Amino acid sequence: MASYTNYVMAQSLEEAYALNQKKSAVIVAGNMWLRMCGLRRQTAIDLSKLGLDAIEETQDAFIVGSMTSLRALETHEALNRETGGAFREALAPIVGTQFRRTATVGGSVYARFGFSDVSALLLALDAQVELYKRGVVPLEEYQRETWDRDILTHVRIPKGRRAGIASVRLSKTDFPVLVCAASTDGETLRLVMGARPARAMVVADGLRLTADLQDWEALAGSVPLGTNLRASEAYRRKIAPVLMQRAVQACLGGNEDDH
Ligand SMILES: Cc1cc2nc3c(=O)[nH]c(=O)nc-3n(C[C@H](O)[C@H](O)[C@H](O)COP(=O)(O)OP(=O)(O)OC[C@H]3O[C@@H](n4cnc5c(N)ncnc54)[C@H](O)[C@@H]3O)c2cc1C
């Protein structure tokens, strides 16, 4: 159980940012991860009153506030229409509906969990993050960085890509053993592997739909994979090409494969 001496409902991003510069403070979003960590901090900073829980659609992107719940992403009609239902598919396996009503996109992206289905899909869609002080940064870059004390305010998901995702779990609702997310702009493919078990990374980009879609074994062979308590590197290597193929089929709107 986490414990905090002071609980501050931030009234502005500037206030939240200023408070968060102290190492004794922590941003609290859905609190689903934090509360499991047994963390003790002087000050918890709650962002709930800052209007960061909306999904705005513009001409060329969806702008998702960091306090938006995973459930809101999963059930957002326009976002799912644009991406071929990818958010519905990607988020449904995460724990349970009530959990996803509370866990946020900001908490997921900031934490850069290796096992994150959320980050894998957002990376495949070439999302960007908006940070209060630093401004807009490609998620691909943010994902490689270490945790800092800036505040993630929004995730920007560009329009124009369909996506698909495939994962293996030892049991339903468990963390994934391996995740593959694919997206296409209609001409080329982008592939991401997550739960390697390290953080999700882009493993291929610009693959031509017509010419480059055959040797999943070779491509999977070049992905850095490892071992953790859920699975060995050898097991991950075995299932990686199958997940790649499934994610690509899902993103191209194909039928279930026969693996
Ligand atoms: C039991 C369990 C199972 C899970 N299984 C999966 C799974 O299978 N797949 C998956 O993808 N995810 C999974 N998750 C992760 C989950 O989806 C969320 O990512 C996680 O709970 C964090 O979101 P939160 O809103 O609860 O963040 P919190 O727990 O509140 O915060 C997490 C971290 O992010 C920081 N933070 C939060 N918001 C911001 C912000 N706006 N700016 C800066 N820092 C911020 C916090 O300070 C903290 O360090 C699981 C989590 C749990 C607890």
User: Average pLDDT for residues 83-92, to the nearest whole number?
Assistant: 97
Confidence of residue 132 (pLDDT cuts 50, 70, 90): very high
pLDDT score at 40: 85
How many Cβ atoms sit within 10 Å of the Cβ of residue 90? Answer: 28
Query: Per-residue pLDDT tens for 101-120?
Result: 999 999 999 999 999 999 99
> Given a cut of 50, is residue 48 above it in pLDDT?
yes
Domains and CATH numbers, the chain: 3-48 (3.30.43.10), 50-158 (3.30.465.10), 162-251 (3.30.390.50)
| Spatial distance between the Cα atoms of 143 and 204, rounded to a whole number of angstroms | 16
List pocket residues of ligand 1, CB cut-off 6 Å. 26-34, 36, 47, 66, 70, 94-95, 103-104, 106-108, 110-111, 113, 115-118, 151-152, 175-176
Backbone angles phi, psi at 102, to 5 degrees: -110, -40
pTM of the predicted model as reported, rounded to 2 decimal places? 0.96
**Does residue 259 surpass a pLDDT of 70?**
no
Distance 60 CA to ligand 1 centre (A): 27
Using the structure block, give the residue that is written with the tokens 């995740």: 179
Q: Which of these, 115, 120, 132, lies nearest to 27 by C-alpha position? A: 132
Helix or strand (DSSP H, E) at 194: strand 188-194
* pLDDT of 39: 83
pLDDT value of position 253:
86
Q: What is the pLDDT of residues 204-258, one digit of tens each?
A: 999 988 766 668 889 899 999 999 999 999 999 999 999 999 999 999 985 443 3
Choose between 129 and 259: higher pLDDT.
129
> Is residue 137 pLDDT above 60, yes or no?
yes
